[in-house]
Structure 1
Amino acid sequence: MTEQTERFPGWDWDDQDGLAARLDDFSAQVATCDTLEAHPGGLPRDHAGFRELGLTGIEFAAFRTAHPEGLGTDLTALRGTGTVSGTGSRTEPGTLYRVDGDRWFTQLDIAEPLPFADASVDWVYAEHLIEHVTMPVAVGWLREARRVLRPGGVLRLTTPDLARYLAGYVTGDGFLTKHRRRLTTLGFGPPMPARPAFLVNQIFRYYGHQWIYDLDELRHVLTLAGFAPEQIRHCAYREGVRSDVADLDTAFRTDETVYVEADR
């Protein structure tokens, strides 16, 4: 029995439904922290409420945002594995939590209206989130993000770049091989098959992905959401109008990612 078989018994990269169930289990395992404390004052509802908590923006798809002035959110519940006070050991929608004593979190579904007033925050950030929902849901969420941004605020999105995958497939420039190695180091399963067609298909079909974007497709949905074309710009890794927000980009995804900002 090989080491990979021992670590991942019964794993089959060709079984999409089976891998979806494994991913759900994996997500639940990583959605943990040491301590959770329910905030008695509830969610901030407007700009004044955010500022009272020392918050300036929202990071979506983040159990524990790296931004010291950010509110982290995710659809998946966050579990406390250590001392828990104020409520149970699992987050519930509609409640604001202090995570490990130094970050804020609330459980949100981006398919629903955001529970915040217009012009509540200065920035919104989402890394590799938009591809996990259908386009209508994405447009609805982007409209909500625009609504809660203050005038002069910025939305920063990152997502897998369809153009990069297709260029790698057509040219054989080594991108797909490099990407396969990167995913292996993440530890979610044994090494993927090296077949180029598989490595392109997995970005469409795995991880709960619903729609894959290139730069033009991002411009399209942002425009549908109300951002003016001249407000939308292509950015580089960790480069943007706000360095504190751009610095939320994670290094291990740079090989596959397109970065876009839109101003309110």
Structure 2
Amino acid sequence: MTEPTSSPNDRFPGWDWDDPEGLETRLDAFSAQVATCKTLEARPGALPHDHHDFRELGLTGIEFAAFRTAHPEGLGTDLATLRSTAAETETETGPGLATEPGTLYRVDGDRWFTQLDVSHPLPFADASVDWVYAEHLIEHVTLPVAVGWLREARRILRPGGVLRLTTPDLARYLVGYATGDGFLGRHRRRLGTLGFGPPMPARPAFLVNQIFRYYGHQWIYDLDELRHVLTLAGFAPDRIRHCAYRQGLRSDVADLDTAFRTDETVYVEADR
């Protein structure tokens, strides 16, 4: 007798892709699972403040929305709490050591991390870092918060320093929708590899809507919209450049681009 074959939906009972609000808790829980590391070690004292402090720690720049930056001279930051899976003690936030704002942590023995909220002023001095990088962060905050954060990023950059932004490209979605060039179908299959739900609906309108309605997204950009917010933040228009994947002023910073997101991403740099 043939055993019944289970469908992907059987593993996610009650999952309804057509109900963004109803899935918000599930998607938040999935994101929390990613916010872990093996070991966390709190460093006594204050966060690095000025250029001298950063250099004493071997740091040259900051990667936002990164629990464990790939840059060996980068400070990783994120709004979410990072938790150690190896710690044996219990804390108020649950098992293991958990990060708190205002503290610097050593992650897995070889990277630095601190918990920051980009809607607040950055706790660093003017001209304190050589680069700032943020992959798929800016779409998660409102437009006024984005402009305020970019203004702060410009403030902490040293002369000649570079800011590199990547974000989902609204133009890519709309061209895919209007022309039926296959982008939306390929993107749907890519998202399916994340494993946080059953396959998304294949309807083109849904696949455009999900970029606005899921993952906590607040504002979706194309190249012109990125130029707009960067200009409002004080960057000179002639210092803002459209870049390609892993191509930019600093190869060490551009190499932070992840291959997983190239299908949907627009890459932009602005220098001080």
Q: How does 1:12-27 map to 2 (within 5 A)?
A: 12-27=16-31
**Cα displacement (A) at 1:83:** 3.2
| Length-normalised TM-score, structure 1 | 0.97
Identity, in percent, stands at 85
Q: Please identify, of 48-57 and 76-85, the stretch whose mean Cα deviation from structure 2 is larger.
A: 76-85
In 1, distance between residues paired with 2:184 and 2:83? 35
In 2, distance between residues paired with 1:234 and 1:185? 29
**Cα displacement (A) at 1:84:** 6.8
Residue equivalent to 2:212: 204
- Structure 1 contact 47–120 (Cα < 8 Å) conserved: yes
Q: How does 1:14-53 map to 2 (within 5 A)?
A: 14-53=18-57
- 3-state SS in 1 of match to 2:175: helix
- 3-state SS in 1 of match to 2:221: coil
Residue equivalent to 1:76: 80
In 1, distance between residues paired with 2:124 and 2:228? 25
Letter in 1 for 2:18: D
Q: How does 1:66-105 map to 2 (within 5 A)?
A: 66-83=70-87, 89-105=97-113
In 1, distance between residues paired with 2:50 and 2:10? 51
| Residue 151 (structure 2) pairs with residue 147 (structure 1) | no
| Length-normalised TM-score, structure 2 | 0.94
Q: Deviations over 1:138-164 (max 9, x none)?
A: 000000000000000000000000000
Q: Please identify, of 59-68 and 33-42, the stretch whose mean Cα deviation from structure 2 is larger.
A: 33-42
- 3-state SS in 2 of match to 1:170: helix
Q: Please identify, of 173-182 and 38-47, the stretch whose mean Cα deviation from structure 2 is larger.
A: 38-47
Structure 1 counterpart of 2:141, from 133, 139, 146: 133
In 1, distance between residues paired with 2:130 and 2:198? 41
Letter in 2 for 1:71: L
Residue equivalent to 1:106: 114
In 2, distance between residues paired with 1:122 and 1:110? 18
- Structure 1 contact 35–84 (Cα < 8 Å) conserved: no
In 1, distance between residues paired with 2:88 and 2:209? 42
In 1, distance between residues paired with 2:10 and 2:112? 38
Gap runs ≥5 in structure 1: none
CA RMSD of aligned residues (A): 1.3
In 1, distance between residues paired with 2:187 and 2:128? 38
Residue equivalent to 1:183: 191
- Structure 1 contact 57–122 (Cα < 8 Å) conserved: yes
| Residue 257 (structure 2) pairs with residue 253 (structure 1) | no
Which ranges of 4 or more aligned residues in structure 1 deviate by more than 3 Å? none
**Cα displacement (A) at 1:6:** 3.3
- 3-state SS in 2 of match to 1:248: coil
Distance verdict in 2 for CA 1:231–1:101, change over 3 Å: same
| Residue 236 (structure 2) pairs with residue 232 (structure 1) | no
In 1, distance between residues paired with 2:198 and 2:70? 29
Q: Please identify, of 112-121 and 88-97, the stretch whose mean Cα deviation from structure 2 is larger.
A: 88-97
